C-alpha cells in the first residue's frame, strides 16, 4: 500500500493507561516468566510466513488488536486449534489474563505483543492474515482527542498490506460516532468492502463471534453495539 515506515515513537498513542490495580505475586510471575515465551520478537527478522511463529499444525493466522480481557481471543484459540491467534494489547491487566488462560488451558496457538499494534503490522509479511478483529476500541469521545482513535485511514492501509484477499476484518463499537469514523475511513481505503446488505448485518453479532465483557457493559448501560464486517478485496 506504500505505507511509509516510521519508528514507533512517531505513532500517535491510541490507548490510555498501561497499568490498573497492582499485580499479585502470581500475576507478576506470569508476566516475568511466561509472557516472554509467548511474545513475538519484533527485533528479529520477520519470517517468510507468519505460520512459522506457531507449531506445524497451525494453517492460518488471525490477529486481534486490543484484546482487552482476552475472552474473545482465548475462545477462538480453544475452538480453532488450527488457527494461530496473535493478540496485541498494551494494557497489562488484560495481557496477564491471557497468559494465565494460555498456561492453564495449555494452548499452543497464541502469540502476544503487549504493546501498540502498529510496529507488529509493519513487521509482519504481506498477505499473511486470514482474519483481524478490532472490538470496542477506546472511543476517545472528546472532540480534541478523536485524532487518537485507533481506526484510521493509516491503520486500515497497514492492515490491508498484511491481510490476504478474501480475508475478513471485524470491528465492533458501542459508540455511534465511532462507527461513523470507521465507515468514513473505509471509504478512503478501497482495499476493503463492507459486508452488509441489510441492517441486521450490523445490528446483530453473527455466529462464530463470541461476546466480550465490553459488549456486555454496553448492553447493560443501554447502548446498542454495532458489528461491522469488511472483506479484503
Instruction: Say which range, 28-37, 40-49, 127-136, 145-154, has the weakest mean pLDDT.
Output: 145-154
HSE-CB at 76 with a 13 A cutoff on CA atoms is: 26
pLDDT value of position 148: 86
For residue 2, pLDDT over 70 is answered with no
- Read off the DSSP letter of residue 197: S
pLDDT of residue 44: 97
Mean pLDDT for the chain?
A: 91
Catalytic residue among 138, 174, 177, 201: 138
What would the pLDDT profile of 206-215 be if each residue is shown by its tens digit?
989 999 999 9
Average pLDDT over residues 107-115: 97
Q: What is the pLDDT of residue 13?
A: 55
Q: Residue 92's pLDDT is what?
A: 92
- Position 205 pLDDT exceeds 50: yes
**Measured between alpha carbons, how far is 60 from 172 in angstroms, rounded to an integer?**
22
60 included as an active-site residue? no
Model pLDDT, residue 145: 73
191-194 long-range CB contacts below 8 Å, 24 or more apart?
Answer: 191/1, 191/156, 191/157, 191/160, 191/232, 191/233, 192/156, 192/160, 192/230, 192/231, 192/232, 192/233, 193/230, 193/231, 193/233, 194/228, 194/229, 194/230
Res. 77: pLDDT tops 80:
yes
Residue 4: band (very low, low, confident or very high) from pLDDT cuts 50, 70, 90: very low
Q: Which pLDDT does position 144 carry in this prediction?
A: 80
Q: pLDDT tens digits for 127-151?
A: 999 999 999 999 988 878 788 899 9
Q: How confident is the model at residue 20 (pLDDT cuts 50, 70, 90)?
A: low
pLDDT surpassing 70 at residue 7: no
The CATH label, of 3.30.70.890, 3.40.1030.10, 1.10.3720.10, 3.40.50.150, for the domain at 25-232 is 3.40.50.150
Amino acid at each position: 500500500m506504500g505505507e511509509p515506515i516510521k519508528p514507533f515513537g512517531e505513532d500517535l498513542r491510541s490507548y490510555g493507561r498501561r497499568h490498573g490495580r497492582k499485580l499479585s505475586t502470581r500475576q507478576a510471575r506470569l508476566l516475568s516468566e511466561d509472557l516472554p515465551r509467548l511474545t513475538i520478537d519484533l527485533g528479529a527478522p520477520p519470517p517468510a510466513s507468519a505460520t512459522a511463529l506457531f507449531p506445524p499444525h497451525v494453517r492460518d493466522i488471525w490477529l486481534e488488536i486490543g484484546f482487552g480481557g482476552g475472552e474473545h481471543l482465548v475462545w477462538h484459540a480453544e475452538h480453532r486449534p488450527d488457527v494461530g491467534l496473535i493478540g496485541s494489547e498494551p494494557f497489562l491487566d488484560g495481557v496477564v489474563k491471557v497468559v494465565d488462560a494460555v498456561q492453564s488451558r495449555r494452548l499452543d496457538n497464541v502469540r502476544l505483543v503487549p504493546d501498540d499494534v502498529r510496529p507488529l503490522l509493519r513487521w509482519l509479511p504481506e498477505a499473511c492474515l486470514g482474519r483481524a478483529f478490532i472490538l470496542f476500541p477506546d472511543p476517545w469521545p472528546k472532540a480534541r482527542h478523536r485524532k487518537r482513535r485507533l481506526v484510521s485511514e493509516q491503520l486500515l492501509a497497514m492492515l490491508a498490506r498484511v491481510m490476504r484477499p478474501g480475508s475478513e476484518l471485524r470491528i465492533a463499537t458501542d459508540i455511534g460516532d465511532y462507527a461513523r469514523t470507521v465507515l468514513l475511513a473505509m471509504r478512503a481505503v478501497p482495499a476493503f468492502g463492507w459486508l452488509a446488505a441489510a441492517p441486521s448485518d450490523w445490528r446483530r453479532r453473527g455466529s462464530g463471534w463470541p461476546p466480550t465483557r465490553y459488549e456486555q457493559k454496553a448492553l447493560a448501560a443501554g447502548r446498542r453495539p454495532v458489528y461491522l464486517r469488511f472483506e479484503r478485496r
